[in-house]
Copies of this chain bind each other. A is one copy, B any other.
Amino acid sequence: MRTDGRQWNELRPVTITMNANKYAEGSVLIEFGDTKVLCTASVEERVPPFMKGQGKGWITAEYSMLPRATQVRNHRESARGKLTGRTMEIQRLIGRALRSVVDLHALGERTITLDCDVLQADGGTRTTSITGAFVALALAVNKLSRTVDFAKYPITDYMASVSVGVIGERTLLDLNYDEDSKAKVDMNVVMTGSGKFVEVQGTGEEAPFSRKELDELLGAAEEGILSLIGKQREALGSMGSRIGVTTV
Protein backbone atom coordinates (compact mmCIF):
# COMPACT_ATOMS: atom_id res chain seq x y z
CA MET A 1 0.00 0.00 0.00
CA ARG A 2 1.34 3.45 -0.95
CA THR A 3 1.38 6.46 1.39
CA ASP A 4 -1.57 7.96 -0.42
CA GLY A 5 -3.45 4.66 -0.39
CA ARG A 6 -3.03 3.82 -4.07
CA GLN A 7 -2.41 0.37 -5.55
CA TRP A 8 1.03 -0.10 -7.16
CA ASN A 9 -0.49 0.25 -10.63
CA GLU A 10 -2.97 3.00 -9.86
CA LEU A 11 -2.84 6.54 -11.25
CA ARG A 12 -3.48 9.55 -9.05
CA PRO A 13 -6.83 11.30 -9.66
CA VAL A 14 -6.58 13.08 -13.03
CA THR A 15 -8.48 16.28 -13.74
CA ILE A 16 -8.47 18.18 -17.02
CA THR A 17 -10.06 21.64 -16.94
CA MET A 18 -10.62 22.82 -20.50
CA ASN A 19 -10.10 26.43 -21.71
CA ALA A 20 -8.31 27.54 -18.56
CA ASN A 21 -7.02 30.70 -20.28
CA LYS A 22 -9.22 33.09 -22.21
CA TYR A 23 -6.65 34.21 -24.80
CA ALA A 24 -4.85 31.01 -25.86
CA GLU A 25 -6.02 29.09 -28.94
CA GLY A 26 -6.06 25.98 -26.75
CA SER A 27 -5.57 25.62 -23.00
CA VAL A 28 -6.09 23.24 -20.12
CA LEU A 29 -5.31 23.08 -16.44
CA ILE A 30 -4.27 19.48 -15.85
CA GLU A 31 -3.86 17.84 -12.46
CA PHE A 32 -2.23 14.51 -11.60
CA GLY A 33 -3.06 14.52 -7.89
CA ASP A 34 -1.37 17.58 -6.39
CA THR A 35 0.71 18.27 -9.50
CA LYS A 36 -0.98 21.09 -11.40
CA VAL A 37 0.16 22.37 -14.78
CA LEU A 38 -1.35 25.13 -16.89
CA CYS A 39 -0.86 24.24 -20.57
CA THR A 40 -1.53 26.78 -23.31
CA ALA A 41 -1.20 26.39 -27.06
CA SER A 42 -0.38 29.56 -29.03
CA VAL A 43 -0.70 29.56 -32.82
CA GLU A 44 1.38 31.84 -35.03
CA GLU A 45 1.07 32.05 -38.78
CA ARG A 46 4.80 31.75 -39.40
CA VAL A 47 7.65 29.34 -38.73
CA PRO A 48 11.08 29.89 -37.19
CA PRO A 49 13.84 31.02 -39.60
CA PHE A 50 15.44 27.54 -39.87
CA MET A 51 12.11 26.08 -41.15
CA LYS A 52 11.21 28.74 -43.71
CA GLY A 53 10.11 27.79 -47.18
CA GLN A 54 9.74 24.06 -46.52
CA GLY A 55 5.95 24.07 -46.56
CA LYS A 56 5.97 22.60 -43.06
CA GLY A 57 4.85 23.78 -39.67
CA TRP A 58 6.59 23.58 -36.29
CA ILE A 59 5.62 22.51 -32.79
CA THR A 60 7.70 23.68 -29.87
CA ALA A 61 7.33 23.72 -26.10
CA GLU A 62 8.47 25.70 -23.12
CA TYR A 63 8.35 24.51 -19.53
CA SER A 64 8.71 26.38 -16.29
CA MET A 65 7.93 25.97 -12.62
CA LEU A 66 6.63 28.84 -10.52
CA PRO A 67 9.15 29.52 -7.74
CA ARG A 68 6.88 28.19 -5.01
CA ALA A 69 5.52 25.25 -6.96
CA THR A 70 7.75 23.20 -4.68
CA GLN A 71 8.12 22.62 -0.96
CA VAL A 72 11.12 24.92 -0.81
CA ARG A 73 11.06 28.05 -2.97
CA ASN A 74 13.31 27.94 -6.03
CA HIS A 75 15.06 30.86 -7.70
CA ARG A 76 13.37 32.09 -10.84
CA GLU A 77 15.24 31.24 -14.00
CA SER A 78 14.50 34.73 -15.30
CA ALA A 79 16.32 36.20 -12.30
CA ARG A 80 19.23 33.75 -12.66
CA GLY A 81 19.47 34.83 -16.30
CA LYS A 82 19.47 31.35 -17.73
CA LEU A 83 17.55 28.12 -17.93
CA THR A 84 18.70 25.14 -15.92
CA GLY A 85 19.71 21.96 -17.70
CA ARG A 86 16.66 20.27 -16.20
CA THR A 87 14.28 22.79 -17.75
CA MET A 88 15.96 22.56 -21.14
CA GLU A 89 15.84 18.78 -21.05
CA ILE A 90 12.15 18.75 -20.16
CA GLN A 91 11.04 21.28 -22.73
CA ARG A 92 13.01 19.53 -25.46
CA LEU A 93 11.26 16.29 -24.45
CA ILE A 94 7.77 17.85 -24.53
CA GLY A 95 8.33 19.39 -27.97
CA ARG A 96 9.77 16.15 -29.41
CA ALA A 97 6.91 14.08 -28.00
CA LEU A 98 4.25 16.35 -29.49
CA ARG A 99 5.95 16.50 -32.89
CA SER A 100 5.86 12.70 -33.05
CA VAL A 101 2.06 12.79 -33.43
CA VAL A 102 1.82 15.82 -35.70
CA ASP A 103 2.18 15.75 -39.47
CA LEU A 104 4.10 18.98 -39.94
CA HIS A 105 3.35 19.12 -43.66
CA ALA A 106 -0.36 18.77 -42.98
CA LEU A 107 -0.13 21.57 -40.41
CA GLY A 108 1.23 24.02 -42.98
CA GLU A 109 3.60 26.96 -42.35
CA ARG A 110 2.51 27.81 -38.83
CA THR A 111 4.01 27.39 -35.37
CA ILE A 112 2.21 26.10 -32.30
CA THR A 113 3.98 26.83 -29.02
CA LEU A 114 2.97 24.81 -25.99
CA ASP A 115 3.66 26.55 -22.68
CA CYS A 116 3.62 24.25 -19.68
CA ASP A 117 3.74 26.23 -16.44
CA VAL A 118 3.79 24.17 -13.28
CA LEU A 119 1.66 25.87 -10.64
CA GLN A 120 2.21 23.13 -8.06
CA ALA A 121 4.59 20.20 -8.22
CA ASP A 122 4.21 16.83 -6.53
CA GLY A 123 6.22 14.59 -8.86
CA GLY A 124 5.64 13.78 -12.51
CA THR A 125 5.61 17.34 -13.79
CA ARG A 126 7.03 16.35 -17.17
CA THR A 127 4.54 13.55 -17.77
CA THR A 128 1.64 15.71 -16.59
CA SER A 129 2.86 18.47 -18.93
CA ILE A 130 3.04 16.18 -21.96
CA THR A 131 -0.40 14.73 -21.27
CA GLY A 132 -1.95 18.18 -20.81
CA ALA A 133 -0.07 19.81 -23.67
CA PHE A 134 -1.48 17.19 -26.03
CA VAL A 135 -5.01 18.28 -25.12
CA ALA A 136 -4.19 21.99 -25.46
CA LEU A 137 -2.66 21.23 -28.85
CA ALA A 138 -5.75 19.27 -29.92
CA LEU A 139 -7.96 22.21 -28.89
CA ALA A 140 -5.84 24.64 -30.89
CA VAL A 141 -5.78 22.44 -33.99
CA ASN A 142 -9.53 21.88 -33.68
CA LYS A 143 -10.02 25.65 -33.54
CA LEU A 144 -7.72 26.11 -36.53
CA SER A 145 -9.73 23.53 -38.45
CA ARG A 146 -12.76 25.84 -38.38
CA THR A 147 -10.95 28.32 -40.64
CA VAL A 148 -8.26 26.20 -42.28
CA ASP A 149 -9.30 23.45 -44.66
CA PHE A 150 -6.79 20.72 -43.77
CA ALA A 151 -6.42 18.17 -46.55
CA LYS A 152 -5.12 15.80 -43.90
CA TYR A 153 -5.82 16.34 -40.20
CA PRO A 154 -2.45 17.31 -38.67
CA ILE A 155 -2.74 15.27 -35.47
CA THR A 156 -2.04 11.66 -36.29
CA ASP A 157 -2.68 9.95 -32.97
CA TYR A 158 -3.43 10.45 -29.30
CA MET A 159 -0.44 10.56 -26.97
CA ALA A 160 0.11 10.67 -23.23
CA SER A 161 2.90 10.09 -20.72
CA VAL A 162 3.41 8.65 -17.28
CA SER A 163 6.26 7.93 -14.89
CA VAL A 164 7.10 4.55 -13.42
CA GLY A 165 9.74 3.59 -10.93
CA VAL A 166 11.14 0.97 -8.61
CA ILE A 167 11.16 1.39 -4.85
CA GLY A 168 12.71 -1.52 -3.04
CA GLU A 169 11.54 -4.39 -5.15
CA ARG A 170 8.21 -2.83 -6.16
CA THR A 171 7.32 -1.36 -9.51
CA LEU A 172 5.10 1.69 -9.00
CA LEU A 173 3.01 3.70 -11.46
CA ASP A 174 2.77 7.52 -11.47
CA LEU A 175 5.16 8.43 -8.65
CA ASN A 176 4.48 11.41 -6.42
CA TYR A 177 7.36 13.55 -5.18
CA ASP A 178 7.89 11.53 -2.07
CA GLU A 179 8.08 8.25 -3.99
CA ASP A 180 10.19 9.81 -6.72
CA SER A 181 12.86 10.86 -4.24
CA LYS A 182 13.09 7.30 -2.89
CA ALA A 183 13.04 5.44 -6.23
CA LYS A 184 16.24 3.68 -7.27
CA VAL A 185 15.03 3.47 -10.87
CA ASP A 186 13.04 6.25 -12.52
CA MET A 187 11.46 6.00 -15.95
CA ASN A 188 9.32 8.29 -18.08
CA VAL A 189 7.39 6.76 -20.93
CA VAL A 190 5.51 8.51 -23.73
CA MET A 191 3.16 6.39 -25.82
CA THR A 192 0.60 6.88 -28.57
CA GLY A 193 -3.04 5.84 -28.70
CA SER A 194 -2.03 2.94 -30.91
CA GLY A 195 0.31 1.66 -28.20
CA LYS A 196 3.65 2.60 -29.71
CA PHE A 197 6.54 4.18 -27.83
CA VAL A 198 7.48 7.79 -28.51
CA GLU A 199 10.01 8.10 -25.70
CA VAL A 200 11.45 5.68 -23.19
CA GLN A 201 13.79 7.31 -20.67
CA GLY A 202 14.94 5.12 -17.85
CA THR A 203 17.61 6.04 -15.34
CA GLY A 204 19.22 3.94 -12.69
CA GLU A 205 21.42 6.51 -11.01
CA GLU A 206 20.97 4.91 -7.61
CA ALA A 207 21.18 1.34 -8.88
CA PRO A 208 21.34 -0.21 -12.34
CA PHE A 209 18.31 -2.26 -13.34
CA SER A 210 17.83 -5.62 -14.97
CA ARG A 211 16.03 -6.48 -18.18
CA LYS A 212 13.27 -8.06 -16.13
CA GLU A 213 12.73 -4.86 -14.15
CA LEU A 214 12.66 -2.89 -17.39
CA ASP A 215 9.96 -5.15 -18.77
CA GLU A 216 7.80 -4.72 -15.70
CA LEU A 217 8.20 -0.95 -15.81
CA LEU A 218 7.20 -0.81 -19.45
CA GLY A 219 4.14 -2.95 -18.79
CA ALA A 220 2.94 -0.74 -15.96
CA ALA A 221 3.54 2.40 -18.01
CA GLU A 222 1.59 1.06 -20.96
CA GLU A 223 -1.45 0.36 -18.83
CA GLY A 224 -1.29 3.79 -17.19
CA ILE A 225 -0.93 5.63 -20.49
CA LEU A 226 -3.91 3.90 -22.05
CA SER A 227 -5.97 5.02 -19.07
CA LEU A 228 -4.70 8.61 -19.48
CA ILE A 229 -5.57 8.59 -23.15
CA GLY A 230 -9.08 7.57 -22.13
CA LYS A 231 -9.25 10.76 -20.02
CA GLN A 232 -8.03 12.81 -22.97
CA ARG A 233 -10.66 11.31 -25.29
CA GLU A 234 -13.35 12.04 -22.75
CA ALA A 235 -12.20 15.63 -22.28
CA LEU A 236 -11.98 16.34 -26.00
CA GLY A 237 -15.17 14.53 -26.97
CA SER A 238 -16.12 15.30 -30.55
CA MET A 239 -13.30 17.84 -30.79
CA GLY A 240 -10.95 14.86 -30.96
CA SER A 241 -12.90 12.94 -33.56
CA ARG A 242 -10.56 13.71 -36.47
CA ILE A 243 -7.33 12.78 -34.62
CA GLY A 244 -5.57 10.06 -36.55
CA VAL A 245 -8.18 10.06 -39.29
CA THR A 246 -6.23 9.99 -42.51
CA THR A 247 -8.99 10.12 -45.09
CA VAL A 248 -10.89 13.36 -45.63
A residues adjacent to B (C-beta < 8 A):
21-24, 27, 34, 38, 40, 42, 44, 62, 64, 66-71, 73, 76-89, 91-92, 96, 99-101, 113, 115, 117, 119-120, 157, 187, 191-192, 194-211, 214, 218
In the bound complex, residues from chain B placing their C-beta under 8 Å from that of A81 are: 81-82
Q: A62-B79, A100-B207 are in contact. List 10 more A-B contacts (CB 8 A).
A: A24-B68, A27-B68, A40-B67, A67-B113, A78-B78, A100-B204, A196-B208, A197-B208, A200-B214, A201-B201
Contact of A23 among B71, B191, B196 (CB under 8 A): B71
Min distance, Cβ A89 to any Cβ of chain B, angstroms: 5
In the bound complex, residues from chain B placing their C-beta under 8 Å from that of A24 are: 68
Contact A197 B218 (CB under 8 A): no
Contact A62 B71 (CB under 8 A): no
Contact A204 B208 (CB under 8 A): no
Min distance, Cβ A144 to any Cβ of chain B, angstroms: 15
Q: How far is the CA of A87 from the CA of B89 in the complex (A)?
A: 10
In the bound complex, residues from chain B placing their C-beta under 8 Å from that of A64 are: 76, 78
Min distance, Cβ A29 to any Cβ of chain B, angstroms: 9
Min distance, Cβ A216 to any Cβ of chain B, angstroms: 13
Given known A62-B67, A199-B204, A200-B202, contact A119–B73 (CB-CB < 8 A)? no
Q: How far is the CA of A22 from the CA of B70 in the complex (A)?
A: 9
In the bound complex, residues from chain B placing their C-beta under 8 Å from that of A207 are: 100
Contact B198 A208 (CB under 8 A): yes
Min distance, Cβ A99 to any Cβ of chain B, angstroms: 6
Contact A42 B23 (CB under 8 A): no
Q: How far is the CA of A91 from the CA of B40 in the complex (A)?
A: 25
Q: How far is the CA of A50 from the CA of B198 in the complex (A)?
A: 35
Residue of B nearest to A88 (CB): B85
